[in-house]
């Protein structure tokens, strides 16, 4: 590991899970993200769901959390219907007084608390709505909230920057050139299968996933591949309910259009199983 940035080491995420740092161009990923924050170099994380984009972002800044105030990071999860108001906030009627009160959104909270902003699924948001970030990301560093004229211009502090996370292959994903150019670093996030093994994921499932990834690189497979989140869920389900139940559940989780090929790949290691589904009612004696 490069000595350019001192490593931070494993961190416990807000959900209690331990995050194990990974290498990124010879640097520790957590140290890299914190250094990017210190230089306000916005970072775009791309990769399939479940590879650890959110986990990395949370772990990098969890040590800056202030109990009762913030977790060291503000997050917004984007959809096709996300609007500027979802970023900055809106007026909400108080049922006790019938008065409309201003409720700040995650963008304003991130500025007020001087913490990074994670825009998850950023590629699903209409690019026109993301222009609210432009002036903050390109050096001007000041937000004018037109939705609430009573608010003064908000200036970002030294700890504010943007992390974008997305799966560029999901239907409807799009990032404008104007936004892409504002991200100083673009980082691909893939599943660390060695880490998965350390966490108890069965070798057979890891082999299936690696084989499918190899086929995808060779352009002989275009379907679904389980990632770290799926693999960890498989391991836990297998521990509690047995391998057959876990295999059936994973087959059901696979998108229907890819299930045939994925089931064939799983069959080589786990045998023939049907996707998880409800069966007949439980016999009276087993209730």
Per-residue pLDDT reduced to its tens digit, 95-140: 888 888 989 999 999 999 999 999 999 999 999 999 999 999 988 8
Domain ranges of the chain: 11-188, 193-270
Neighbours of 196 (CB within 10 A): 23
- pTM comes to 0.89
| pLDDT level of residue 219 (50, 70, 90 thresholds) | very high
Here the tokens at position 47 are 């990769």
Residue 111: Cβ-neighbour burial (10 angstroms; 0-12, 13-18, 19+): buried
Which helix (DSSP H) or strand (DSSP E) does residue 90 occupy? strand 89-93
**Helix axis angle, 228-241 relative to 203-217, nearest 10°?**
150
Which helix (DSSP H) or strand (DSSP E) does residue 241 occupy? helix 228-241
Q: Is the per-residue pLDDT at 201 higher than 70?
A: yes
- Candidate CATH numbers 3.80.30.20, 3.40.50.300, 3.30.70.100, 3.40.190.10; the one for domain 11-188: 3.40.50.300
CA distance 119 to 84: 13
What's the pLDDT score for residue 171? Answer: 86
Angle CA(144)–CA(147)–CA(149) in degrees, nearest 5? 65
pLDDT tens string 174-190: 999 999 999 999 999 99
pLDDT tens string 254-279: 999 999 999 999 999 999 999 999 98
Angle CA(211)–CA(25)–CA(34) in degrees, nearest 5? 115
Distant-in-sequence, close-in-space partners of 269: CB < 8 Å, separation ≥ 6:
204, 205, 207, 208
Q: Is the per-residue pLDDT at 209 higher than 70?
A: yes
Q: Is the per-residue pLDDT at 2 higher than 70?
A: no
According to DSSP, the β-strands at 11-12 and 18-19 are antiparallel
Residue from 269, 233, 268, 267 nearest 250 by CA: 233
Q: Which residue has the higher pLDDT, 94 or 82?
A: 82
What's the pLDDT score for residue 3? Answer: 58
Q: How long a stretch of residues is the chain?
A: 287
Q: Could you give the 3-state DSSP secondary structure of residue 187?
A: strand
pLDDT tens string 23-35: 999 999 999 999 9
Angle CA(237)–CA(207)–CA(243) in degrees, nearest 5? 25
Number of H helices, E strands in the chain: 11, 13
pLDDT tens string 139-172: 888 999 988 988 999 999 999 999 999 999 888 8
Q: What are φ and ψ of residue 254, in 5° steps?
A: -60, 135
Under 8 Å between Cβ of 230 and 191: no
What's the pLDDT score for residue 1? Answer: 52
Here the tokens at position 186 are 């673009």
What's the pLDDT score for residue 255? Answer: 95
| pLDDT level of residue 287 (50, 70, 90 thresholds) | low
Question: Taking residues 206-235, what's their average pLDDT?
Answer: 96
Please give the mean pLDDT across all residues of the chain.
94
What's the pLDDT score for residue 286? Answer: 66
What's the pLDDT score for residue 141? Answer: 87
**What is the CA 208 to chain-centroid distance, rounded?**
23
């Amino acid at each position: 590991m490069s000595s350019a940035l001192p490593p931070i080491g494993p961190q416990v995420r807000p959900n209690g899970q331990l995050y194990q740092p990974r290498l990124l161009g010879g640097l520790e990923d957590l140290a890299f993200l914190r250094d990017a924050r210190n230089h306000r170099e916005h970072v775009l994380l791309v990769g399939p769901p479940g590879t650890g984009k959110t986990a990395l972002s949370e772990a990098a800044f969890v040590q800056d959390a202030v109990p009762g105030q913030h977790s060291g990071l503000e997050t917004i999860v984007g959809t096709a219907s996300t609007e500027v108001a979802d970023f900055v906030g809106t007026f909400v009627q108080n049922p006790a007084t019938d008065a409309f009160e201003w409720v700040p959104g995650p963008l304003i909270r991130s500025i007020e608390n001087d913490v990074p902003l994670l825009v998850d699924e950023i590629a699903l948001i209409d690019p026109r709505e993301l222009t609210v970030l432009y002036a903050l990301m390109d050096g001007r560093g000041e937000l004018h909230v037109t939705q609430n004229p009573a608010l003064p211009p908000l200036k970002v502090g030294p700890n504010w920057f943007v992390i974008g996370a997305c799966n560029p292959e999901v239907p409807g994903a799009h990032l404008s050139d104007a936004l892409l150019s504002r991200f100083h670093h673009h980082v691909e996030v893939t599943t660390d299968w060695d880490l998965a093994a350390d966490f108890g994921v069965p070798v057979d499932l890891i082999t299936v996933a690696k084989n499918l990834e190899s086929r995808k690189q060779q352009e002989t497979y275009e379907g679904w591949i389980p990632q770290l989140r799926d693999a960890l869920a498989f391991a836990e389900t297998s521990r509690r309910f047995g391998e057959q139940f876990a295999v059936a559940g994973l087959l059901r989780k696979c998108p229907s259009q890819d299930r045939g090929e994925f089931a064939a790949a799983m069959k080589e290691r786990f045998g023939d199983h049907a996707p998880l589904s409800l069966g007949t009612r439980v016999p009276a004696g087993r209730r």
